Amino acid sequence: MQEFTWPGRTAETELVLDLEKAGLKREFEQRLEECGTLAFRVARGVLRNAADAEDVAQEAVLRAYRRFTRLRDPSRFRGWLVRITFRLALDQARSARRREHRETLWAMNTPRPTAEDIAASNEFGRRLEQAMESLPKKSRLVLLLASMDGHSLEEVAEVLQLPLGTVKSRLHSARKQLAEKLR
């Protein structure tokens, strides 16, 4: 006697599901080519070095891949990827700061840097980074996206699914706060 087989659970159906998965993967890889660099740049805007930024961007890409069936709409995908990358980068920066703080405490007895050392370091960059960290997260993300080459404010609004007026006011406020801290 033949075994009972549920309709819809046939080998043909399994094949269709496999093909659909393969199609999804191809579609995702195409989306990755379009948005991978954007993810890296968002992470780089928060983190101090490119290696950390790449790690974070790859983690964000993996998370997007796992949820791709919900993120197939391109505009939604870009916005989600930007936000998740930004959040992961902030987390990474926070733990890097904690690690740095521990190492600084440990190395308290090492010789202090000379005036020349300080002058040689990128003082402006360091101060800018500190000022960026004090900004509200929402404004910071708008500032990063708006600073990217070729990103108009309209595109930033589209990526973040925000009204253009909101983007403008966040950007205005972020730049003003940065300048106040750097003056």
Partner 1 sequence: MRCEENVHLLIDAAMLGEPPESSVAEHLRHCQQCQARFQREEKLFAAIDDALRARVSERPPSGFLVRASARLSEESITDSGANPAWAAAAVLVLALLALTRPWIASQPTIVAVTQVASAARVQQDISSTTSARDTNKEPVVARARKSNNHSDARSATPQEPEVLVPPDEQKAFAQFVERVAGQDAMAAAVVSHAPNKTIPTNTALPQVSSVDVAQLERADRDDSMDEIDGSE
Q: Choose the stretch contacting partner 1; rule: CB under 8 A; options: 93-101, 112-120, 123-131, 157-165.
A: 123-131
With CB under 8 A as the contact rule, the residue among 141, 144, 157, 160 that binds partner 1 is 144
Task: Based on the shown chain and the rule CB under 8 A, indicate whether residue 119 belongs to the binding site for partner 1.
Answer: no
- Report how many residues bind partner 1 under the rule CB under 8 A: 51
The answer to whether 141 and 147 have CB atoms below 8 angstroms apart is: no
Among 94, 120, 134, 176, binds partner 1 (CB under 8 A): 176
Contact positions toward partner 1, by CB under 8 A? 1-7, 10, 12, 21, 24-25, 28-29, 32-33, 36-37, 40-42, 44-45, 50-51, 54, 57-58, 61-62, 65-70, 124-125, 128, 143-144, 147-149, 172, 175-176, 178-179, 182-183
